[in-house]
Amino acid sequence: MNNTNVLPDGAPARRIASIDAVRGLAIIGTLATNVWVFSHPWGLWGMLQNPVLPGASDAAATAQLVLMALAQGKFLALLSLTFGVGLAMQHRAAQRRGARWPGRYLWRAALLFLDGVVNYILIAEFDVLMGYAVTAAVASVLLVTRPRAQRAMILGFAAAHVALITGLVLLLAAFPAGEADTAAPTSPNPYATASFLGLAAFRLDNAAVFRAEPVLIGFLSLALFLAGAALLRADVFGAAGARLRRRLMLAGAIAAPVDLALALTASPGGLLLERYVVAPVVALGLLGLVADVCLRRGTAGWVARRCTEIGRVALSAYLLQNLLGAAVFYGWGLGLAETTQAWRVPVTVAMFLVITVVVAAAAHLWLRRFRRGPVEWLWHAAADIGRHRASPPAGRPRSFDAVAD
C-alpha cells in the first residue's frame, strides 16, 4: 500500500507528505483524547459517568475540562477526514487502471475490522477501527456516484447526525440523570484489579455499552469520509485549494470558542454537542491549517517530520500508544490511574508527553530500516493472501490493490 490509504505503508517516493503529516497529527490527537480515559480509575465506564473525579478541586476540574476540550472529538474527526482522502485516492487510482471498484478494497476493510476487534478486546474499549472499517466499506460504494450526489449525501448525513444528537440532548434535558445514575461504580474495579485477560473479558461482557459510539456517529463518519473525498477533489492539499483552506480555517476559528464554552459546561448535553457537532467543524479548520502550513513551509521541519513519520505507520502507532496507555494506567501494568488520583491532571499530561515521545521515537527508528510499520507489514501480507486467492485470469486488468506498491 502507499499513502493513498489511511494506514499507509508504501514507498516514500510515492507519498504525499502533507497527508502523512495531517494523519500523524490526528493519531497524536487521539491519544490526547484517550489518555483521559486511561487515567480515569474506572476507564471508559467511569468517563461516561463522571469525566472529572469526585472531590477534584475547581482549579483541577477546570484545567482538565480545558485540556480535554483541546482534543475532544477534533482528532477523531480529523482522522476520519484523512481516511476519506485516502479512500478517494485509491478510488481514483483504480479508475485510472480500469479496475473494478470497490473490488478487493472490501477485503482490506475486512482486515481493518479484524484489527479493530483485536484492539477492542485486548487493548482499548474505545477502539475506532471497527467503525472505520464498516464506514469505509459503505463509503467505497458511495464513491462511485457523481460528485454532486456525494455533496448531497454529505449534507444529508450531516443533517441526520445533528438531528440525532439534538434529540439526545433534548432527551437529557427533559430527563436529567439523578445522583444515583452518576455515582461512581462500586467495587471491584476491573481496571485496577483485573488481569490483562480479565479486563478483556470485561470488555466482551460490556460490548453493548462500549460499542455504542461507532453506531451513534455512523452518519457523522459517512459525512466526514465523503467530505475528505470532496476536499481532495477540490485540491485542498495543493496550490489551487488556497481559498478553500482559508474558508476551512475561518470555520474552525469560529467554532473553536463555541467548542470550549460547551466543554466548560461539564454537562452531558454540552459534552455531546461539543464532541459530536462542533468539534468536527474545528477539525475541518485544523485540516485547512496544517495543509496550508505544509504547503507554505514544507514538511522538512523537525515537528513536521515527526508527524509525517507517525502518519506513515499510523496503524502501528495507534495500537502502540493505546497499549502503552493501558500499561501505564491499568492495574495489570503500573496502575497509575488508581494510585495517582489526587494528581490526575499533571500525571495525565506527563504520561501523554512521555507516550508521544516514545511513539515518535519508535516510528523514527523503525522507518530508518523499514518502509512499513510492523502491523502494516502484517496487514499488507494478509492483503496479499487475499489478492493471490482471487487473482484475475490472464489478460484482465488487475485492481489497484495489486499494483499499489
CA 185 from chain centre, in angstroms, equals 28
Nearest C-alpha neighbor of 68 from the set 275, 320, 361: 275
Residue with cell 454529505: 154
Spatial neighbors of 59 by CB under 8 A, at least 6 apart, are none
Radius of gyration of the chain (CA): 21
- Angle formed at CA 283 by CA 240 and CA 42, multiple of 5 degrees: 160
As a whole number of angstroms, the distance between CA 88 and CA 191 comes to 40
**pLDDT score recorded for residue 93:** 85
Do the Cβ atoms of 274 and 263 come closer than 8 Å?
yes
As a whole number of angstroms, the distance between CA 289 and CA 25 comes to 12
- Angle formed at CA 356 by CA 352 and CA 359, multiple of 5 degrees: 140
Q: Residue 86: what residue type?
A: G
**pLDDT score recorded for residue 75:** 95
The number of helices, as runs of H, and strands, as runs of E, in the chain is 21, 0
As a whole number of angstroms, the distance between CA 14 and CA 4 comes to 9
Do the Cβ atoms of 118 and 69 come closer than 8 Å?
no
Do the Cβ atoms of 225 and 136 come closer than 8 Å?
yes
Over the chain (405 residues), the average pLDDT of each successive run of 10 is 39 67 96 96 87 90 92 94 93 86 88 93 93 95 95 98 95 72 64 94 93 94 97 93 96 96 86 94 97 92 94 95 97 96 96 98 95 84 62 40 29
Sign of CA dihedral 38, 42, 48, 53: negative
Q: What share of the chain is helix, strand, coil (3-state, %, to 5)?
A: 75, 0, 25
Which own/partner pairs from 322-329 qualify as long-range (CB within 8 Å, at least 24 positions apart)? 322/34, 322/119, 322/123, 322/124, 323/123, 324/355, 324/358, 324/359, 325/31, 325/34, 325/35, 325/38, 325/124, 325/351, 325/355, 326/38, 326/123, 326/124, 328/38, 328/355, 329/38, 329/39, 329/191
Nearest C-alpha neighbor of 309 from the set 372, 398, 238, 232: 372
**pLDDT score recorded for residue 252:** 97
As a whole number of angstroms, the distance between CA 404 and CA 381 comes to 13
**pLDDT score recorded for residue 41:** 94
As a whole number of angstroms, the distance between CA 73 and CA 290 comes to 17
**pLDDT score recorded for residue 118:** 94
